[in-house]
Chains A and B, each alone.
Chain A
Amino acid sequence: MGFKLDNFTESLKSGIKYLPITAKLTLVAIIIGLIIGLFIAILRYYKIPVISHILTVLITIYQGLPIMVALLIYNLLFSYYIGPFIDFFHLNIDVNKVNNIIVAYFALSLAAITTMSETFRGALNSIEKTQFEAGYSVGLTKFQTFKRIILPQVIPVAIPGLINNLVGVIKGTSFVMAIGVLEVTNASLIPCFKTFSYVEGYLAAAIIYWFFTIILEVILSTIEKKYSKKSIKSEVIYV
């Protein structure tokens, strides 16, 4: 089982061609995760009756569910019910043409929501109570206090955790091959079906993920630095 550079580059090319799919899967999941995750974190932080309890239970349960298992369950449900669903609503769609990438979006978004809401909640908890009280005491409303005082302090605290969540989602996209969606991992293996050069195929996939993640992390940590400059925490200048 020798390492063949030709097969490796072949796999690399094939994988890179599908990088946009992986990127899109990640992006959609992250954006949904950021918005709904923040929203859930806020509901739980302000202890909105009933809703916050339900969310706590749901998130605790969902956190124990591996992405792979979730994907397989959703895919099964999807393939069972997509036909009846289309019939029921009389949609003009051919069942055989419905792409199950929608299952991938769904599963990854849910995973992103749970992890990111926890990151936001942790960041919210790190803000001193006095910051809220100071806002109220000068006459700001609850919403103004949150938007103008709390959120700008939450974001710099949350960013390292969110970057971590993002990397988790990128890695999570590779599970999507289990339900037959063509993305980086799956595509890198396409040439291997003929040549049986699986080592090269997996290695190619690994390298693509590696670069993708590193590039994103570099970009995001520059943003992080820019953000944390605004509220200098560590640097103390007594004058």
Chain B
Amino acid sequence: MIEIKNVKKNFGKNEVLKDVSLKVNKGDVVVLLGPSGSGKTTLLRCINFLEQADEGILTIDGQTVNLHKASSKEKLQIRKKTAFVFQNYGLFQNKTALQNITEGLITARKVPTKEAIKKAEEVLAWVGMLDKKNYYPSQLSGGQQQRIGIARAVALDPDVILFDEPTSALDPELVGEILTLIRNVAKKGITMIVVTHEMSFAQEVASKVVFMADGVVIESGTPKEIFYTPKEERTKKFLERILPQDDYYI
């Protein structure tokens, strides 16, 4: 179980997160929705210490850390329990597809090389990229790179995978196949927190939808609750702009 409590984050005078709390059960797929600048991505990055929160407590797998003043050892421990899928793939440019996956296993988790390669080939086969295992990221298309990015996250066997708009850098044709892949990750029962603007994906896959705006959680609930019976005015407004009108009015 993952629990985030009272996370606050400012960028200069700009309050990006104002006291955000979130509970994620094991196996949950939590989708963070909200307009740009609402702090979804920042929240995700705070969980992985890619951004240092000004305040907040994080509990993952029984380990509790202060998001503001975690030691580098604690940061490392938390990072080993999480995996991150980047918007612009974030593959190591100097490593092949296979090495991209084995790097975190061998160097960070001290998995024996042979075992790591076996595991990497397994996940590469699972995302359908085994034949490209010796390709460098620059030789692959965006969709292929994101497949490897997802394979890398899955191979690490984390408590939670954080997806930061995994499809928004892809051209529309490729979005579908990556979403299918993420659906398959969800089917594996891996806990996920997904920031996305893909509404139909959120409706179908999410076990919980969290709507954020202006640095606070406006409301959260099942996809049905959020999309069809939103309680808050702010949520209704947002959905009105994004969904076809009669999609959520009953």
User: A residues engaging B (CB < 8 A)?
Assistant: 128, 130-131, 133-142, 144, 148-149, 152-153, 230-233, 235-239
Nearest CB in chain B: distance from A48 CB, A: 15
A131 in contact with B90 given A138-B156, A140-B103 (CB within 8 Å): yes
Q: Are A138 and B132 in contact (CB under 8 A)?
A: no
CA distance A130 to B92 in the complex (A): 9
The 8 lowest CB-CB distance pairs between A and B, nearest first, are: A138-B104, A139-B108, A137-B84, A134-B90, A139-B80, A130-B90, A152-B94, A231-B94
Q: Does B201 contact A (CB under 8 A)?
A: no
Q: Are B79 and A139 in contact (CB under 8 A)?
A: yes
CA distance A232 to B84 in the complex (A): 25
Q: Does B136 contact A (CB under 8 A)?
A: yes
Q: Are B76 and A135 in contact (CB under 8 A)?
A: no
Q: Are A231 and B138 in contact (CB under 8 A)?
A: yes
Q: Does B107 contact A (CB under 8 A)?
A: yes
Q: Are B92 and A139 in contact (CB under 8 A)?
A: no
A-B contacts besides A128-B88, A139-B156, 12 pairs, CB < 8 Å: A133-B90, A138-B104, A138-B156, A139-B104, A142-B72, A144-B108, A148-B107, A230-B94, A232-B139, A235-B139, A236-B139, A237-B139
Nearest CB in chain A: distance from B102 CB, A: 10
| Chain B residues with CB under 8 A of A133 | 50, 84, 86, 90
Nearest CB in chain A: distance from B174 CB, A: 12
CA distance A239 to B138 in the complex (A): 12
CA distance A144 to B79 in the complex (A): 14
Q: Are A138 and B50 in contact (CB under 8 A)?
A: no
| Chain A residues with CB under 8 A of B88 | 128, 130
User: B residues engaging A (CB < 8 A)?
Assistant: 48-50, 72, 76, 79-80, 82-84, 86, 88-95, 103-104, 107-109, 132, 135-136, 138-141, 152, 156
CA distance A130 to B48 in the complex (A): 13
| Chain B residues with CB under 8 A of A238 | 140-141
| Chain A residues with CB under 8 A of B89 | 130
| Chain B residues with CB under 8 A of A237 | 135, 139
18 A-B pairs whose Cβ atoms sit less than 8 Å apart in the complex: A128-B88, A130-B86, A130-B89, A131-B93, A137-B48, A137-B84, A138-B108, A140-B103, A140-B108, A142-B72, A149-B92, A149-B103, A152-B94, A153-B93, A231-B94, A231-B138, A233-B138, A235-B139
The total of interchain contacts (Cβ-Cβ below 8 angstroms) comes to 80
Q: Are B139 and A139 in contact (CB under 8 A)?
A: no
- Residue in A131, A141, A142, A235 whose beta carbon sits within 8 Å of that of B92 in the complex: A131
CA distance A167 to B3 in the complex (A): 58
| Chain A residues with CB under 8 A of B109 | 139
CA distance A233 to B136 in the complex (A): 9
A239 in contact with B132 given A133-B50, A136-B50, A137-B90 (CB within 8 Å): yes
| Smallest Cβ-Cβ distance to B137: which chain A residue | A231
Nearest CB in chain A: distance from B101 CB, A: 9
CA distance A86 to B109 in the complex (A): 55
Q: Are B49 and A232 in contact (CB under 8 A)?
A: no
Q: Are B94 and A138 in contact (CB under 8 A)?
A: no
| Smallest Cβ-Cβ distance to B75: which chain A residue | A136
Nearest CB in chain B: distance from A160 CB, A: 17
| Chain B residues with CB under 8 A of A235 | 138-139
| Smallest Cβ-Cβ distance to A134: which chain B residue | B90
Nearest CB in chain B: distance from A155 CB, A: 10
| Chain A residues with CB under 8 A of B95 | 149
CA distance A138 to B84 in the complex (A): 8
Nearest CB in chain A: distance from B110 CB, A: 10
CA distance A130 to B89 in the complex (A): 9
| Chain B residues with CB under 8 A of A131 | 90, 92-93
Nearest CB in chain A: distance from B226 CB, A: 28
| Smallest Cβ-Cβ distance to A238: which chain B residue | B141
- Residue in B91, B136, B141 whose beta carbon sits within 8 Å of that of A232 in the complex: B136
Nearest CB in chain B: distance from A27 CB, A: 28
Nearest CB in chain B: distance from A34 CB, A: 20
